[in-house]
Amino acid sequence: MSANPNYKAELVGVFGHPVAENPTVVMEEAGFQALGLNWRYLTIEVLPEDLAAAMRGMRAFNMKGINLTIPHKVEVLKYLDEVKPDAALMGAVNTVVRIGDKLVGENTDGKGFMRALTQDAKVNPKGKKVLVLGAGGAARSITVELALAGAQQITIVNRSVERGKGLTELINTKTPAKASFAAWQGRYAIQGDTDILVNATSIGLPPLSDEKPEIDYATIRPGMVVCDVIPAPSTPFLKEAQERGAKSVDGLGMLVYQGAIGFKLWTGLEAPVKAMYQALAKAFNI
């Protein structure tokens, strides 16, 4: 035994509600094990009214960082010491990094989505027309990244007019892309010239994993690229798209890549992406 043994694990994790079926722990702990790190990833149920207390607890426990999922990505901003410019632009944070005594907010959702889209699916969004379902935290990060990557036109479809128009204005005033808003009423029909369709809503998350966005699936055409942010190898939404000849991009790749970015932010080390993906694939019986 060494003269000065260290039994203390470094702690990171996720705050969310619901969170029990969030699979991030599987890939992050696989990454820690692959690199021989004594780190632990905690999956923690935090009700909306308890977020302030949870963030104080994070500080008290000297945690190295935390992920935020539904419904905390926007609300967490008020509890941070610093927010990186791109996350501030998006108005949403999904990853917090502890740097000294400061809690710094980042957003890896859009970056993870872009890696899955460009590296795995080999799709370049430059000059493309994109339709995004939803206007929450995931939608904000994805649309900003798509806009900065050169997407020509972004249509935001959302049931909340105020939130949808707010995101549309953000894209139009803060990025080079052009955006428009469409109110989501009934079965929404996808415009025929849409190149990329993204479900950035929580529809399809457990316990409602059998549900799919209310759109007219007959308007999905062959050659369209259809993406889902739900972290699963397939969803009812993607199955419908595949049956109509569309190219699908699942949320599993997005999850792995955004997790890998967070891994490096926390540990300072390059993430073992292959080991992380294999752990998730095993968990999903792929």
Q: Which residues contact 5 (CB under 8 A, 6 or more apart)?
A: none
One-letter identity of residue 114? M
HSE-up of 80 (CA within 13 Å, CB side)? 28
- Ramachandran bin of 253, using left for φ above 0, alpha for ψ from -120 to 50, beta for the remaining angles: alpha
Rounded to the nearest 10 degrees, the angle between the axes of helix 24-34 and helix 251-267 is 50
Q: Where are the alpha helices (DSSP H) in the chain?
A: 24-34, 51-60, 85-90, 109-115, 137-148, 161-174, 236-243, 251-267, 273-283
- Active-site option among 8, 64, 73, 282: 73
224 burial via Cβ count (<10 Å: 0-12, 13-18, 19+): buried
Residue in 150, 113, 138 with CA at minimum distance from that of residue 225? 113
Give catalytic status of residue 282 as yes or no. no
What DSSP element (H or E) covers 105? strand 102-106
Q: 80: how many CB neighbours lie within 10 A of its CB?
A: 18
Residues with catalytic roles? 73
